Structure formats: structure tokens, C-alpha cells
Amino acid sequence: MPENNCFSLNTARVEQSPFLHFTANSILPADKITQVFKWFQDTGIWNLVETDFYEQYEFSLLHTELPENMLFLVSEETLSYIEQKYVQEFGVNALKLVDIVAHKLVNEQRIGIHNDFINGEETHRMVLHINPYWKEENGGLLLLFKSTKPEDIVKIVKPADNTAFGFEISRQSNHAVSKIYNFTRFTIVYTFKQI
């Protein structure tokens, strides 16, 4: 593992259905995940974004002056490590970073079914969950579908603390996030483009 990379995707398990993806746990050391969680709770730089299928708070880590103890989230070593995992597991040649965005969903918010496909401008995404006090009754489940119909749900991914979900973006990568109940759900989304 590169010296300035704190990430570990050694537990990644790749699946083909309903679209190419992996899940992994124990991504960051306990002290690092705790620091990120505290920063997300304390910072006031969240911006509300509303579209036709979601409402959430977010900000780009690439366009924000990060505290020194958060620089590992955007380090070249970290990004290279994540890219190499996609090369290894998904067989891609190389990736270029598009953005790194922190997301926050609060009570009653949800994300409708969508696939993230925008004509190949983004091809791979990894979501890091930062939710130390999450319980199933809080909702915020990541739902995977084999079509755009709600009844075609195939898999449920729990947003458990310090877990990751990585996937290949395509017209088939339909997913959603169920409604939040009495909770604040944090994630960091790494987005890449195949080159």
C-alpha cells in the first residue's frame, strides 16, 4: 500500500448482477473514519442541491480548502490506489479523476432510481459510507435494480460505517437510496472516467 494512502480495498468482492460492482468493508483505520465523521458533522460548507429525483447536501472536496488531517482523502496515492483496484477487479486500462464529492442526506430525504450515465463522461464511481451510528430503522439503504422499475429491485446494500460500494456506470446501473428516518447519512463519492 502506498505510504500516503490510508485506504484498504482488500476485502472487495466483485459481483456482476444487476450490474458490475464491488462491496468492501474496513476501508479506513478507525481513527481516520472518526476524524472524517467529526469534520462532516462540524463543517458548515454543505450546500443544498435539488433535482427532479433527489434533494441532498453536498460539496466538492476538490474545490474546498481541506483541513490538513483530511488531505489523505484526495492524495495522489489514495486516488492511484482506488484506480488500480478498478484496473485489477474490473479490467479497465486506466482512469482519470472527475470529482470527489461529499454527500449528506438528512431526515425525509431520499434519492430516486437513476443510473448516473451521462454519455461516458463518468464511467466508474466509488461510494465510501461514513455512518458510525447507522441502524436499519434509519433507512438510507442503497438499492440496486435490474431496470428503472421499483419492483425490479435485485440487491440492498447497507450504508454501514466504513464500507464502500464501487460500480461501473452504464445505462444499466440503476440504483436509488431509500428515505432517511431520524438520521444523517454521510458518504464520499469518488468519480472517474475511463481513458
pLDDT in tens, 91-140: 999 999 999 999 999 999 999 999 999 888 999 999 999 999 999 999 99
Chain segment 4-44, per-residue pLDDT in tens: 689 999 999 999 999 999 999 999 999 999 999 999 999 99
pLDDT tens per residue across span 74-85: 999 999 999 999
8 Å CB contact between 54 and 187: no
Q: Are the beta carbons of 153 and 178 closer than 8 angstroms?
A: no
Q: What pLDDT does 2 receive?
A: 43
> How is the chain split into domains, by residue range?
17-194
Q: What span, in angstroms and rounded, lies between the C-alpha atoms of 115 and 132?
A: 27
Its pTM surpasses 0.75 = yes
DSSP state of 179: P
Predicted confidence at residue 75, as pLDDT, reads: 96
Check whether domain 17-194 has CATH 2.60.120.620, yes or no: yes
C-alpha distances (whole Å) from 14 to each of 17, 160, 165 are 9, 18, 10
